[in-house]
Chains A and B, each alone.
Chain A
Amino acid sequence: MAQMTQELLEKDRLALEEMNQPLITGNPSYHDVTRVVSQIVEVRTAKIWWMALGITGGITGLLFSMLGYLVWNGIGVWGNNSPVGWGWDITNFVFWIGIGHAGTLISAILFLFRQKWRTSINRFAEAMTLFAVACAGIYPAFHVGRPWRAYWLFPIPIADHGMWQNFRSPLEWDVFAVSTYATVSLLFWFVGLIPDLAILRDRATTKFRRIAYGVLSLGWRSSSEHWKNYEKAYTILAGISTPLVLSVHTIVSFDFAVAILPGWHTTIFPPYFVAGAIFSGFAMVVTLMVIARWVFKVEHIITMKHLENMCKVMVATGTIVGYAYATEFFIAWYSGNQYEQFTFINRATGPYAWAYWTMISCNVLSPQVFWFKKMRTCIPVMFVISIIVNIGMWFERFVIIATSLHRDFLPSSWGYFRPTIVDILTFFGTFGLFITLFLLFLRFLPMIAVQEVKGTLAADKH
């Protein structure tokens, strides 16, 4: 009996310890945090950084040459053709837009929900949002064929020859949704950066740095008045960004769901796409974070607790996506509509079965390992799973697009989509662009929100 009580007490002690576990480990002082984060951008540029930039810059060059080739020859260099009129272009657009959502969720929604663990990772994730949106934007801009006229997408009165935008098309709504999203995300990110840019300005050792960071920090003096305004602006921007997390991917889902095509038209698409976007975004944050915290030795600021929470978000959103797959399949059967039924059975057993089962295994099955704490706190496991999830989420978009299109109502017009080398290299190239932008971010801007982390530290200490 006494031993049992002892055991219980021990269990309670551990539980309390875990419940009140500090987010930042090693009990660093405020100055330590400033120093550790600022140094990343202050030390001499490492050779390895130049090497990495050289490689990713080369890949970005490949992207631009592919795009040049596309513009020169026309959209025919991509694999899109009847019956699969939308191929990798829109798959990649949705893939990249989705990646960005984790940043907005972390910075806006988790802020409103008072989730303090967001503070060490929000800057990083927000930067990722911006770069992902940049990669996504390439696809629609170039799919118009004449990218120099892409501005026709905007309802500008001076537009040539009485062109009218089709306001009934969700593709047009995408233009507004994505450009609003990009603008607000940029503002949110920049507002959050201001106090940290001031730190870099104050620590600057060269005149150039002092001027550059000085201009960017907009005269920040850390006065209480500044902080008051800052926090108000931050909360308002969080409030504005929150519906944007939903709206962007909702409208992306409308691109498909407003059609009457079986496999595209289903009412669960909007929330299902949003959950999938957050899922893929968190996977990307984990992939990059695991590397960055190790390279820059900030493991005490971006701790296991942060990573574990992200794994939990991944298993939750991955399962929501699984719920959506299952509901779609069930309703296709329940509807009694033979076209619906055909589409789903064809997905699972037709020529694209390999893609479908890749999607199911990567998105629904693989994150289930995160039910176990051992797996959630094992860095190699989460690194591998996060990559698998990203592969799976790319396949999800591909499956939705290609399998719904390739066999339509007339068997005589059935076909099979194959990407061209241009498709493949363009997609590969966007990774180059994404990582190049990321490397520049890591080199020139504080990758962790220093001032916010200090706030968390203060909360931990009390």
Chain B
Amino acid sequence: MAHDHHLDIPIDSFRLPSATWTHVRNVLVATTVVGWGACLAGYLQDHDQFSRSYLVAFLATIFMALGGMLFVMIQHLTNSAWSVTVRRFMESLMMSLPVGAILFIPIALNVHSLYVWSLPGGVAHFSGGKASYLNERFFVIRAFIYFLIWTALSWRLWAISRKQDETKSASLCYSAAKVSAPGVFFLFITATLAAFDWNMSINPHWYSTIYGVYCITGGAWGFFACLILICMRLRANGILTHSITVEHYHDLGKWQFALTAFWAYIAFSQYMLIWYANMPEETIYYKVRMEGTWRLLTLALPLIHFIFPFFLLIARPAKRTLSILSFISVYVLIVHYLDVYWMIMPNYAKSGIQFHWMDLAALVAVVGTFGFFFWQRLKDAPIVPEGDPRLAKSLRFHNV
């Protein structure tokens, strides 16, 4: 920087202590192995239940990783300085996307348990050319294309950021922005289609144009909670305590708040228009979600996904009190899971909510796997993009 100020704040180590790293890695490996073991046992017991539990776990997490990629790109595009100290965690969450391609395999192998259109005669009563879209082969090809694009984008952004750690070259900020601009475009298109394919086509007759935006927003909401939680856990262990300050938490809290409102806006738009027009082919979506105990979750969702977090986070002190923010991020992750559960499960369990131990097993396996790779990335890499010329600004950052 042309006029670098003297940094009068204590500087943290930007590396994870190796003992801490190994310890967490071991915990992750153990949990993941247990999770997959349980999944295997469950799969042998009940194909269908495993596939469905697994799909919920997979979708709840993969859209968070997409949210991560979206926000890495937004930081680059807006030349954002405040977020530099938390960006490395965003980036490593984004790097879950290539791993997602492997985690997608159980879904590709169990299409018959998940999607009625894949069953013999399942598409027979589709009019138009829908069968040419909803068929197993094209479904897998599309998923492959999505992961190809996501992998290419996330690898490229990660590589640029890592290169900057070493060269400290300012022009790499622009290289990242150049990837991000078309990146956001491709991310939106592919994530929308993925939401249509993986979530919406479970009921192949139902459709909603806003559905992609709904899934992306929900994922981004969960992503911020995840990011806050990671920073908080490290902070509790004395890591980056001076680099990620209450000012950064305040801004992360603002994003959590903004996305709470935005999710509500999108969810309301969908509900309102379907309710008002009252056409059976659309209202079926909410009708099945008002059956049995699903009704409870349907009615609770506006309260737990919007009203409560919205009014909690609206106050400035809430976003600056780390214990509250820490609570809300755990809360958000639970509610985000419930939201995805609510999108998927009523298609199968029509009589009401039936939580199954495999829901938990699949979640542990998927989150554990993502977590393992997330953590692996932070072994050698600095946990803050130390070569970014905006780092000094970020360290000094203050909300006014």
Interfacial residues of chain A within 1-60, with CB under 8 A of chain B in the complex = 8, 11-16, 18-20
On whether the beta carbons of A328 and B170 are closer than 8 Å, the reply is no
The answer to whether B2 has its CB under 8 Å from any CB of chain A is yes
Q: Indicate if A335 sits at the interface (CB-CB under 8 A).
A: yes
Q: How far is the CA of A18 from the CA of B389 in the complex (A)?
A: 12
Q: Report A401 CB to chain B, min CB distance, Å.
A: 17
* B182 to A, closest residue via Cβ: A371
Tell me if A267 and B185 are in contact (CB < 8 A). Answer: no
- Chain B residues 256-305 with CB under 8 Å of chain A are 261, 265-266, 269-270, 272-274, 276-279, 281
Q: Quick check: A8 and B171 within 8 Å, CB to CB?
A: yes
A236 at the interface (CB under 8 A from B): no
> Does B209 contact A16, Cβ atoms closer than 8 Å?
no
Task: Tell me whether A333 and B129 are in contact (CB under 8 A).
Answer: yes
Chain B: minimal CB distance from A404 (Å): 14
B195-232 to A contact mask, C-beta < 8 Å, 1/0? 01000000001011111110000000000000000000
Task: Say whether, besides A319-B185, A327-B192, A260 and B277 are in contact (CB < 8 Å).
Answer: yes
Chain A residues with Cβ under 8 A from B276's Cβ?
Answer: 254, 258
- The stretch among A93-101, A138-146, A268-276, A442-450 that forms the contact with chain B is A268-276
A331: CB under 8 A from chain B?
Answer: yes
Chain A CB within 8 A of B233 CB:
no
- Once the chains bind, are A259 and B170 in contact (CB under 8 Å)? no
Q: Scoring A residues 182 to 200 as 1 if CB is less than 8 Å from chain B, else 0, what string do you get?
A: 0000000000000000000
- Hey, which chain A residues are within 8 Å of B128, CB to CB? 333, 336, 338, 341
Point out the residue from A8, A20, A268 that lies within 8 Å of B210, measured CB to CB. A268
The one of B167, B273, B281 that contacts A337, using a Cβ cutoff of 8 Å? B281
Q: Is the CB of A12 within 8 A of B170?
A: yes
- For window 256-270 of A, CB contacts with B under 8 Å fall at 257-260, 265-270
Considering only residues 93-129 of chain B, those with a C-beta below 8 Å from chain A are: 126-129
Q: Name the residue of chain B whose CB is nearest to the CB of A329.
A: B209
Number of interface residues of B (CB under 8 A): 44
Asked if B281 and A267 sit within 8 Å, CB to CB, the answer is: no
A371 close to B171 (CB less than 8 A): no
Tally of contacts, chain A with chain B, CB under 8 A: 101
B127 interface neighbour in A13, A250, A336, Cβ under 8 Å: A336
A334 at the interface (CB under 8 A from B): yes
CA distance A14 to B133 in the complex (A): 48
Interface of A is mostly: helix
Given contacts A260-B277, A336-B128, whether A16 and B265 have CB atoms under 8 Å apart is no
Provide the residues of chain A in CB contact with B192, threshold 8 Å. Answer: 323, 327
Could you tell me the distance in whole angstroms from the C-beta of B77 to the nearest C-beta in chain A?
Answer: 8
B1 on the interface (CB 8 Å rule)? yes
Note all chain A residues with C-beta closer than 8 A to B390: 19
Q: Is B145 an interface residue (CB 8 A)?
A: no
Q: Are A371 and B207 in contact (CB under 8 A)?
A: no
A382 at the interface (CB under 8 A from B): no
The CA of A258 and the CA of B274, in the complex, are separated in Å by 8
- A270 in contact with B174 given A20-B1, A328-B209, A333-B128 (CB within 8 Å): no
With a CB–CB cut-off of 8 A, which chain A residues contact B188? 323
Which of A8, A19, A267, A335 sits near B273, CB closer than 8 Å? A267
A267 touches B269 (CB 8 A): yes
Which B residues are within 8 Å of any A CB, using their own CB? 1-2, 79, 126-130, 133, 167, 169-171, 173-174, 181, 185, 188-189, 192, 196, 205, 207-213, 261, 265-266, 269-270, 272-274, 276-279, 281, 389-390
11 residue pairs bridging A and B, Cβ less than 8 Å apart: A15-B170, A15-B171, A259-B277, A267-B270, A268-B213, A269-B269, A270-B210, A334-B130, A336-B130, A341-B128, A371-B181
Known interface pairs A250-B265, A266-B209, A271-B265; 19 further A-B residue pairs with C-beta atoms within 8 A, sorted by A's residue number: A8-B167, A8-B171, A11-B169, A15-B173, A246-B265, A254-B272, A254-B276, A257-B277, A258-B276, A260-B277, A265-B273, A265-B279, A269-B273, A271-B266, A323-B188, A327-B212, A331-B209, A336-B127, A371-B181
The 6 tightest CB contacts between A and B, nearest first, are A268-B209, A15-B171, A267-B210, A15-B170, A270-B269, A258-B276
